[in-house]
Structure 1
Amino acid sequence: MGKMKPTRINMNAPDATCPAHAQADHPRIPKEKIGVLLANLGTPDATDYWSMRRYLNEFLSDSRVIDYPKWKWQPILQGIVLTFRPSKSGAAYRSIWNEEANESPLMTITKDQTRAISKQLKSKYGDNVMVDFCMRYGNPSTKSKVANMVAQGCTKILFFPLYPQYAGATIATANDQFFRALMEENWQPASRTVPPYFDEPAYIDALAASVESAYADAARKPDILICSYHGLPERYLKEGGDPYHCQCHKTTRLLKERLGWDDTQIMTTFQSKFGPEDWLQPYTVEEVARQAKAGNKSIAVCAPAFSADCIETLEEINEEIKESFEEAGGENFLYIPCLNDDPAHIDALVHVIEKNLAGWV
């Protein structure tokens, strides 16, 4: 039988006490708590070549992200991709890097979201609920945060991947890592995972409010709103039955209905194509150019698949995709930021959390 790594209970925690009716020499243990562990994609620790290489190696080695056989993919990854891509990706990250905090915007925003959610839950449940965050790739790792929650006395953990729509390459791989972390614990907490929340009315309301606010402040009203979602290979949908494509389209439809718009005012596209095979279409970078050539000289783009602004929104949308639109004759490009730590978004996330804590609190 394999040897399990011991659970690391923090007997020096401020709230550690001896259990009721225990013998006098019983070790002190922390007060039982419920952990809420938020999870996002991840971020490199820095923008230099080796930091980027470590991050990209972990990300692109995930078989949920790139599902080619390892014997075929790893030589390409290690020999070609990781030789050239770290420098290019590092330059992209430097263009958006939070220099003051020396971290990526995704890290900054995720910290802000965690603090805001923690404040709300603490006001309702006191110290009985502990809120923290982890990253699927890079730091802080899922494993380290699960271990810390167990050490602090969390006997139940709600794991919340911050992706509105389900995809194997996002929610599933985040859950995989959470379950791997639980395998390291001798004293495993009870656990739950949060399902996709793309159709939660509070989330759609927050999304719609952000669009309405951006349109109200715009010098020129956009001719069309492009809802740009991170792409996936078409094969994942056709062969694997991944529901992501359907859930993205439903998100756009729900947003359209909430705004009271018609089909001419909004559409769904997909970005971030990687590799030679066909991905979900239409491609955002091509569609914005087509819109410009068709006479829609003023457009807005939002990214409903992202809970926080990151490299794919701040650099890819607001730089590369914007450039494609302008080169095709577009005149006014409006990027509508992700919901980030907007109070309406935080309220929506807290609502989802409380619904999934039912029976625990």
Structure 2
Amino acid sequence: MNEHVTPTPETTKPIGDLPADHPPVAAQKVGVLLVNLGTPDGTDPVSMRRYLKEFLTDSRVIEWPKAVWYPILFGIVLNKRPKRVGLAYEQIWNHDLNESYLRTYTRSQSDLLAGALRQHAQVKVDWAMRYGQPSIPTKIEALKSAGCERILIFPLYPQYSATTTATVNDKAFETLMKMRWQPALRTVPPYHDEPVYIEALASSIERHLSTLDWEPEVVLTSFHGIPQSYFKKGDPYHCHCLKTARLLRERLGYSKDKLVATFQSRFGPEEWLQPYTDKTVEKLAREGVKRIAVLNPGFVSDCLETLEEIDGEAREIFTEHGGEYFTHIPCLNDSAEGMSVIEAMVRRELQGWV
């Protein structure tokens, strides 16, 4: 039998009477976190090794068993690659700000998006990197401390891959696993076929080509590659890339021979998605093509893979084998076209929250 208990002052103490040193609960806000791949802190071997170690120990990026991969990674790759990659970064480094252009553009995209959403006082926009700094956990914690009970994570990859989009989402949810009071989380889906994205790409191509006194015979859309084994396991990335290229071709009115999809940046002994960009550039030059343009639709911001690998290495391959005119079409970066895509996706995914 339950007995009636007379409340005492202790049992009736209001829940809101917190200790004087308890941090105040901030007003409810909504966070938006733009996330790009990452960047080293500097071009020196120590910074490069730290960055490459974090990147190449991600099991989403390298799916080999650790017993096979780690002896290669720690015995060879991290002893030789940091110096070589550091020299490549040095060639395309933003020396004015002493940082990579990926960091420069991602920060600018965050600032511009915050300005575009300024009428929504409760929205706080920030940015992070999957590898390197500022980290996803640090920024999620900062948004939470600023009163964001809802956070939209935006992996800045138009085409989905487990090696990119999924690993951003993994890190975000891993961060939540360590939090007692978790914010609600949404993630922006891939947008490889969104009309606003295709239109932005097409407009950037038309604007760039209008500045030339020559017309390209072939336009290459060079996407970052992934191993074919990942595609065979069900990664939709290849399909997303080809759909982007097809829609872009249709929008521009180009033939299949005029706009061609290729894949770059292969690493290791495995077969990667083909055709390879470098081999295609060489083949075109050998076949007598004299004028080409290359763009990177899968990269939201210019970076090592676009500025050094395409505008540097691919350009050199083309001219060495008989090509005469080569132009690299910049990524959307923080241009008006690029920001129209980011803003459109964010506004759509914030519906119901803002």
Per the TM superposition, whether the score is higher than 0.5 is: yes
SS in 1 for 2:261: strand
Instruction: Give ranges in structure 1 of 5+ residues lacking alignment.
Output: 1-20
Which AA in structure 1 matches 2:130? R
CA contact (8 A) 1:147 1:185 kept: no
> Is the aligned partner of 1:193 residue 2:187?
yes
SS in 1 for 2:353: coil
Q: Distance in 1 between matches of 2:272 and 2:93?
A: 28
Partner of 1:310: 303
SS in 1 for 2:208: helix
Aligned-residue offset at 1:360: 0.7
Which AA in structure 2 matches 1:292? A
Partner of 2:114: 118
Q: Cα RMSD over matched residues?
A: 1.3
> Is the aligned partner of 1:90 residue 2:83?
no
Q: Percent identity?
A: 51
Partner of 2:289: 296
> Is the aligned partner of 1:102 residue 2:98?
yes
Q: Distance in 2 between matches of 1:30 and 1:324?
A: 56
Q: Distance in 2 between matches of 1:97 and 1:209?
A: 27
Q: Distance in 2 between matches of 1:281 and 1:78?
A: 29
Aligned-residue offset at 1:153: 0.5
Query: Structure 1, residues 176-229: CA drift from partner, whole Å, max 9, x if none?
Result: 011111112111000011100111111111100000011111121110100000
Partner of 1:18: none
Partner of 2:266: 273
SS in 2 for 1:264: coil
Greater than 2 Å deviation, 4+ residue runs: 21-28
Partner of 2:216: 222
Aligned-residue offset at 1:22: 5.1
Q: 2:177 aligns with which of 179, 183, 187?
A: 183
Aligned-residue offset at 1:265: 1.1
Q: 1:66 aligns with which of 62, 65, 83?
A: 62
- Superposed, 1:105-254 pairs within 5 Å as 105-122=101-118, 124-126=119-121, 128-238=122-232, 240-254=233-247
Partner of 2:337: 344
Instruction: Give ranges in structure 2 of 5+ residues lacking alignment.
Output: 1-14
Q: Distance in 2 between matches of 1:24 and 1:178?
A: 30
Which protein is bigger by CA-based radius of gyration?
2
CA contact (8 A) 2:204 2:337 kept: no
Q: 1:41 aligns with which of 37, 41, 63?
A: 37
Partner of 1:3: none
SS in 1 for 2:192: coil
Aligned-residue offset at 1:262: 1.7
Query: Structure 1, residues 153-182: CA drift from partner, whole Å, max 9, x if none?
Result: 000000000000000100001110111111
Query: Structure 1, residues 244-299: CA drift from partner, whole Å, max 9, x if none?
Result: 00000000011111112221210000000100110000000010111111221100
Partner of 1:10: none
Which AA in structure 1 matches 2:117? L
SS in 2 for 1:92: helix
TM-score (norm. length: structure 1) = 0.92
SS in 1 for 2:60: coil
Q: Distance in 2 between matches of 1:273 and 1:255?
A: 24
Q: Distance in 1 between matches of 2:133 and 2:341?
A: 26
